[in-house]
Amino acid sequence: MSGIVYLVGAGPGDPGLITRRGAEVLQRADVVAYDRLVHPDLLRLAPGAELVDVGKQPGQSTAGQARINDVLIEHARAGKVVVRLKGGDPFVFGRGGEEAELLAEAGVAFEIVPGVTSAIAGPAAAGIPLTHRDHASWAAIATGHEDPTKGSSALDWQALARAPTAVFLMGMERLPEIVASLLAAGQRPDRPAAVIERATWPQQRVVRSTLEKIADVVRRAGVSSPAVLIVGDVVSVAERLERTKPLAGKRVFVTRTRTQAGRLSTLLREAGAEALEFPAIKIVPPSSWGELDRAVAELHRFGWIAFTSTNAVDSFWSRVLATGRDARVFADVRVASVGSATAEALRACGIVPDLIPPTFTSEALAEAFGAPRSHMSGRAVSVLVPRAAGAPDDFPKTLEAKGWRCREVTAYETVTDADSVDAGRAALDAGVDAVVFTSGSTVRSFVELWGKPPGVVAAMGPRTAAAAEELGVRVDAVAATQTLEGLVAALVAAV
Ligand code: SAH
C-alpha cells in the first residue's frame, strides 16, 4: 500500500487558525514533518505520530530542503500518512510549490490543504485590511528576502511602489534596503507603514509609522523575524479601529510564567492594548520528586487535598501518571480548588472539585473550609496541600488554626526566568504605560530583574498587592475578582 503526503497550512501561529481539514488529516498522521514557525499545540493534534522537526534556520537552505524532500518521499513510499505542516499557507513562499513538484515527479500521492497566510492574517490581526474601498483596490505580496544567487533584483520596485498596498514577508533583515528601494521607485516617504511581529501568537507586537521612519522604529523596538511589513494607506484604518477600545494605544508589560501568559495577553489585546510579554518567572520541577511521589501514594490517608494553583494541579497529576497511577487515587479524598482556572485544570483530569470559594483567594479558600466537625476522624481532618517551594504559609496556618491538620508538599518551584531580561529591558526603555502582576513572585522577579515598574501598576489580588507594597512598589489597581478578566477590568478602570 502506498502512502500519501498532505501539504498542510498551519496558519500564522494561533492554533485556532488551522483549517478543519488540516486538523483532521493531522489526527490521522503517522508522520508529521513540521516547520520552525508551527505552534506546538498543533502537534498535539497528532498524538500517535512520529514528529520530525525539519525547521530551517534563516540562511540555511538547499541541503536542508533536500533532506525535507527525502523525509516526505521515504515515509510516503513506506505506506505512511505524512503531514507536511507548514507555517501560514503552504503555497505562499516557503517552497511549498517546489515540494509538491518533487512529490509529483517521485510519483508520490499528495494533497494540498490550504492555510491562513501571514501575508493577510498578519495585517488583519493588527486591524489592517489589505483592501479597502477608500484606500486600496489591489495589493501586492512580495518576498523581502531575495535569493542571494540572483544577480539583479527579481522584484519590480516600480510596481511595488505603485501598489496601494504592498506586503513583504521575510523582510526584517533587509528592512532598510526595502524602504530605500521603495523610496527610490517613487513611493511617498509619509506613506503609512506597519510591521507585525509574531502575528496571532501571544507575543504579537505591532509597530506603526511612516515608510521613511519604519526601519528606525523597528530597530529601536527590537522587533525581529518572523514579521510582515505592510505599506499603504490601509494602515491608518487600524488607528480608527483602535480608538473604540478602552486600552487603545497602551503598552502593557505582562509578567507571567511562559506557559500561562498567553491568555492574559489575548485579553489585553482584545481591549486594544499592545501586550508586551516577558515572563519574569518560570515553573521548574522541585529538586526531587520523592516527597510529592510519597504524597501521591498516601493520598488515601487524607480527608482533603487543596489545590491553590493550576501549577499544583499540573505537577500533582503528572506524578500520579508518572508513578503508574490514575484518577482513582482521588477516590476517597475530597478536593478543594482555589478558583475557576484551577477547577478547570482539575476537570481536565476528570476531577470535579468539592469546594471552590466564592472569591478566588487562598484566604477565601481557608474560610470556605470552616471548622472540622468534632466527631471527625484523624484522616478526615488531614489536608494535603501541594504547593510551590517557599510559598507563603498563611493558608496552611489559617487552616490549622481552625483545627485542620495540614501537610504541605513541594509540587514545583518558581524561579526567575533570566532569558527575557534583555528583551524586557529594551521594551521598558522604549516606554511602557502599565505593568500587570498576577502573583507576588512575579513582582519580586520584576523588581529583581528590572527594578521599579513604570506607569500604572495592576495586581491580580490583595496578596499580590501586599507583596508589591512590601517591595516599595505602589499599586494603582487591584482586581475585584481574582481572574484574568478581573485584572484587565481593573487596569481599564485605572488608566
Ligand atoms: N507560508 C507562510 C510564509 C512562509 S515565509 C505564510 O503563508 O504565512 C516566512 C515568513 O512569513 C516570515 O519571514 C514572516 O515574514 C512571515 N510570517 C510567518 N508567520 C508569521 C507571523 N505569525 N507573524 C508575522 N509574520 C509571519
Name the residue ranges covered by the structural domains of the chain: 4-115, 120-241, 251-280+417-494, 285-413
Q: How confident is the model at residue 147 (pLDDT cuts 50, 70, 90)?
A: low
In this structure, what DSSP letter does residue 286 have?
Answer: -
- Structural fold of domain 251-280+417-494: Rossmann fold (3.40.50)
Residue 118 Cα to ligand 1 middle (Å): 5
pLDDT (tens digit, 9 = 90+) per residue, 322-381? 999 999 999 999 999 999 989 999 999 999 999 999 988 888 999 999 999 988 888 999
For residues 268-288, give the mean pLDDT.
86
pLDDT score recorded for residue 265: 86
Burial 266-291 (b: 16+ CB within 10 A, else e): bbbbebbbbbbbbbbbbbeebeebeb
> What single string gives the DSSP state of each residue in 397-422?
HHHHHTT-EEEEEEEEEEEE-GGGHH
Q: Which residue has the higher pLDDT, 283 or 210?
A: 210
For residues 234-239, give the mean pLDDT.
92
pLDDT score recorded for residue 179: 96
pLDDT score recorded for residue 215: 96
For residues 469-489, give the mean pLDDT.
94
- 57 pLDDT above the threshold of 60: no
pLDDT (tens digit, 9 = 90+) per residue, 422-458? 878 888 888 899 999 988 888 988 998 899 999 999 9
Asked if domains 120-241 and 285-413 share a fold, the reply is no
- 56 pLDDT above the threshold of 70: no
All three cell numbers of 81, joined, read: 500518512
Residue 217 Cα to ligand 1 middle (Å): 20
Q: What are the residue ranges of helices labelled H in 271-413?
A: 290-297, 310-322, 340-348, 362-369, 394-401
User: In this structure, are residues 253 and 427 in contact, taking their beta carbons and an 8 Å threshold?
Assistant: yes
Mutation to probe ligand 1, out of 8, 168, 169, 201 (largest number of atoms < 8 A from CB): 169
**Of these residues, 30, 56, 376, 476, which one is catalytic?**
56
User: In this structure, are residues 345 and 310 in contact, taking their beta carbons and an 8 Å threshold?
Assistant: yes
How far is residue 452's CA from residue 446's CA, in Å, rounded to a whole number? Answer: 8
Let me know if 452 is a catalytic residue: no
pLDDT (tens digit, 9 = 90+) per residue, 254-267? 886 655 557 888 89
For residues 271-291, give the mean pLDDT.
87
- 459 pLDDT above the threshold of 70: yes
For residues 240-245, give the mean pLDDT.
82
In the chain, the percentage of residues whose pLDDT exceeds 90 is 71
Options 3.40.50.720, 3.30.420.40, 3.40.50.10090, 3.30.420.110; which CATH number does 285-413 get?
3.40.50.10090
How far is residue 320's CA from residue 349's CA, in Å, rounded to a whole number? Answer: 11
pLDDT (tens digit, 9 = 90+) per residue, 79-137? 999 999 999 999 999 889 999 999 999 999 999 999 999 999 999 999 999 999 999 99
Q: Which residue has the higher pLDDT, 362 or 199?
A: 199
Let me know if 56 is a catalytic residue: yes
Those residues whose C-beta lies under 8 Å from the C-beta of residue 316, and which sit 6 or more positions away, are 292, 296, 305, 307, 386, 411
For the chain, the residue count is 495
In this structure, what DSSP letter does residue 16 have?
Answer: G
Mutation to probe ligand 1, out of 56, 228, 231 (largest number of atoms < 8 A from CB): 228
User: In this structure, are residues 494 and 476 in contact, taking their beta carbons and an 8 Å threshold?
Assistant: yes
Nearest Cα neighbor of 461 from 362, 391, 369 is 362
pLDDT score recorded for residue 140: 98
Residue 234 Cα to ligand 1 middle (Å): 20
- 62 pLDDT above the threshold of 60: no
Mutation to probe ligand 1, out of 18, 57, 118, 170 (largest number of atoms < 8 A from CB): 118
For residues 382-391, give the mean pLDDT.
94
Q: Label each residue of 28-88 as H, E or C.
A: CCCEEEECCCCCHHHHCCCCCCEEEECCCCCCCCHHHHHHHHHHHHHHHHCCCEEEEEECE
pLDDT (tens digit, 9 = 90+) per residue, 201-214? 877 888 999 999 99
Pocket of ligand 1 (CB under 6 A): 12-13, 37, 86-89, 92-94, 117-119, 122, 169-170, 196, 198-201, 225-228
120-241 has which CATH code?
Answer: 3.30.950.10
pLDDT score recorded for residue 327: 94
Q: What is the mean pLDDT of the chain?
A: 91
Tell whether omega for the bond before 226 is within 30 degrees of 0, i.e. cis: yes
Let me know if 460 is a catalytic residue: no
**Of these residues, 80, 86, 89, 170, which one is catalytic?**
170
How far is residue 293's CA from residue 295's CA, in Å, rounded to a whole number? Answer: 5
Options 3.40.1010.10, 3.40.980.10, 3.10.580.10, 3.30.1330.10; which CATH number does 4-115 get?
3.40.1010.10
